[in-house]
Amino acid sequence: MSKTAKSILGGMTVLSIVGIVSKVIGALHRIPLAWLIGDTGMGIYQLVFPTYNMLLAISSAGLPVAISRMVSYSLAQDDPRNAKRILRIAMSFLTALGFISMMLMIVFSPQLAVRSQDARTQMGFVAIAPALLLVCTMSALRGFMQGQQNMVPTAISQFIEQVAKVFIALPLAYFGSRISMAHAVAGVLLGTSIAEGLALLFMFIVYLKNKKEFAQIPQNPEQPLEGSGSILKRLIVFSIPVTISACIVPLSAFIDSGLLLGRLILSGIEPTEATALYGRYSGYVLTIINVPSAIAAAISMSLVPSISAAIARSDGPFMRKQSALGLRLSFTVGMPCTVALFVISQRVLSLMFNIAPENLAKTGNMLSLSAITIVLFTVVQSTSGILQGLKKQWIPMYTLLAGVVVKIFLNYTLIAMPNINIYGASIASITCYTISMLPNLFFVHKYTGLKVQIVDIFLKPALASALMGLLLYGLSRWLPEGRLWTILIVLIGIVSYAVFALLTGALKKSDLAPFLRRGKKQEA
């Protein structure tokens, strides 16, 4: 197992497909949710999530990456004994952190509600608090599986989360809405906690089934048994910069949740409309933008253990090959998503949400502008994964921090301007990820020795995306409005991009190897 050089393609393929499906389910679940709680309810719902995401990032974001890297490194050295000790210690530590985070959110829910400027959020903070404990414990198991370069359990558990939210959170929202808007939002968030519990149960079952196979991995007798204190120290040292990096964006969203509403009102927008506008931006636009982010996360998660294992084997050529592949794929999948959403933003919004006609144009403009962040974020994620695998985890932390500082400043400045208002949030995000991306690319080149091929990595995906964009623009002008027509346009866009990508060389036949191997296995 440790001798085999596994490509990121297999794990990335599984994570990407299931991740996108999960994100789409999560986005589609917003359609009946928006019908149940409306723009105002969506605004209240989105006021809770930044705080939850920030606490979740603080308590669990860095350690799974650390577990993944440390486990893959140990297995590459034929040392499953220490890999198992890493899981045991990490799970204890993460469970304790999750419990503390849960209690903090429950105890300080009144103060959090005051800070959000809407007292109706208090019940929501309490309802989603148990998810902090559940996700922290589950993230240890996910990191352990990812360290074995087995991405399937993580992908399926993400799918379970989203499906459970649909079948549990929506009924709870309905019954809550019969009492008050605050109870409806709390019902949705309680459904999230229950969904995380089901996903954790699945991961634990997979772990138990995997124990026998893991026990058969041969142990190198020359590898010493590492002490618990040493393992915990390594976990913490590696996870601190990754955790800080993961906290930066949620912290920015946390600040935005208390900043954007006030700045919108200062720009001259009436408070009720400002809450609804914030709800459309955070509940609709960002929901759609986050769907392709599943691919970015898949690339990053697959890169860390793959590059870490290559380092353990002192396999420089394979490390550079994987780094180049990760960069190329980040542009190849991020760029068409940006172009497509830029061109057909209003159609996608009409397909997924029931937005009033008078609000559709402005929401569509927000989505078109925000779509630019997709390709930037995808590249930031892939370069961060490469640097983390190379034990240079402090670099993406500093670059992202610099970007977010500028983002907060721009949000504060631009959103209060009457002629910019909510568009300032999109401009700030574009600036943030550009500032983070450029130095990340430089340091990847510096520490891998990789010669960046601009034509293969950037220009070919740009050409294929531009051709697809022209086709989508023509179809959106010629075909009538309607959900079925929009679905047809989206499908044509996917197929046409695949064709253009193959013709231009943006997508290579070797990239399709995981699909071809699966097809041959099924035929056999």
pLDDT of residue 3: 40
**Amino acid occupying residue 346:** Q
Distance CA 363, CA 380 (A): 26
219 neighbors 193 (Cβ within 8 angstroms): no
* DSSP code per residue over 14-80: HHHHHHHHHHHHHHHTHHHHHHHHHHHHHHHHHHHHHHHHHHHIIIIIHHHHHHHHHHHHHHHTT-H
Q: What are the tens digits of pLDDT across the range 278-295?
A: 888 877 888 888 777 767
90, HSE (Cβ side, Cα atoms, 13 Å): 33
What distance separates the 2 farthest-apart alpha carbons in the chain?
71
pLDDT beneath 70, residues of the chain: 1-20, 22-24, 26-30, 58-61, 246-247, 249-251, 254, 257-258, 294, 510-524
Domain boundaries, the chain: 8-211+230-452, 453-517
Residue 374 contacts by C-beta under 8 Å, 6 or more apart in sequence? 289, 292, 293, 334, 337, 338, 341
pLDDT of residue 64: 81
- For the record, the structure tokens of 11 come out as 């794990």
* DSSP code per residue over 218-240: PP-TTSPPPPHHHHHHHHHHHHH
pLDDT of residue 9: 60
pLDDT of residue 204: 93
Q: Which of 132, 440, 456 is nearest to 303 (CA)?
A: 440
Q: Which of 103, 107, 165, 108 is nearest to 136 (CA)?
A: 103
pLDDT of residue 515: 47
Please list the alpha-helical segments (H only) found in 267-283.
271-280
Residue that is written with structure tokens 């959110």 in the block: 105
